[in-house]
Amino acid sequence: MEYTVKELLFALGLTLFAGLSTGIGSAIAFFAKRTNTRFLSISLGFSAGVMIYVSFVELFFKARTSLEELGAAGSISHTMAYWLAVLSFFGGILIIALIDRLIPNVENPHEMKTVEMINQGNKNPALMRMGLFTALVIGIHNFPEGIATFVSALSDLRLGIPIAIAIAIHNIPEGIAVSVPIYFATGSKRKAFWYSFSSGLAEPVGAIAAYFFLAPLLHQYPAIIGVIFAAIAGIMVFISIDELLPAAEEYGEHHLAIYGLIAGMVLMALSLLMFE
């Protein structure tokens, strides 16, 4: 399947928007007087709801359907198609879990950071290493997210747009996580902002890698698109359960996180129904 320049640029633009939302988190850290924890809690829960719903209801279904079409053509059996979709789903979980496993707990970038830390902190050069390490880890973590956003947007804008928004929301507290230690280390808001902003560049890099390395294979091996969709579903489910929901509860109350989760699912369901 050939894509137009407009489709490619739009998909890349969505990925860029999602990745560089780390800069929004950095800006919040420097310009807000206090952290709106209730808003962050609901927003992160909302992002998790979007990701979980679209993963199970749409992406995994598309993956299985795509693979079963090969089964109908006689390439593989229907049973094998289903197995391949399931294995790809858990393969996506394994990939993101291995990346997450590389993050030491003492420097975990998903640990809650707040605006109040910026306002009350003192300059501490020893924190520079932690800030740079956090930016690097977030960059590594964002790479598969960039692939997920780009491939989803190219395949179906109904999926790509809400996924990009959900990942953008999820990147905001990551921007704060990079900014806080670097600001403590240097005393420079400008440096903290640019390091935070740059950590999101891994997502468009992931999109470019997907275009150059995955797109050519799609024509030769049609089963790859089904495998990719199932793996993306697994990645997003893991991110939601391992990062978004715990962060939502840490920033606010349990029920706020759940209300956001349900709202995300409802909005995702309505958007899919409206553009069916």
253, pLDDT greater than 50 = yes
For residue 53, which phi and psi values (nearest 5 degrees)?
Answer: -65, -50
Which stretches does DSSP call E strand in 147-241?
none
pLDDT tens digits along 82-119: 899 999 999 999 988 887 777 655 444 445 555 555 45
Q: In the 8-state DSSP scheme, what is residue 90?
A: H
Q: At 248, is the pLDDT very low, low, confident or very high (cuts 50, 70, 90)?
A: confident
Q: Where are the domains of the chain?
A: 5-274
pLDDT tens digits along 216-232: 776 666 678 888 889 98
pTM of the prediction? Answer: 0.74
Mean pLDDT of the chain: 79
Which residue type occupies 72? A
For residues 206 and 150, the answer to whether their CB atoms sit within 8 Å is: yes
Q: How large is the average pLDDT for residues 188-204? A: 84
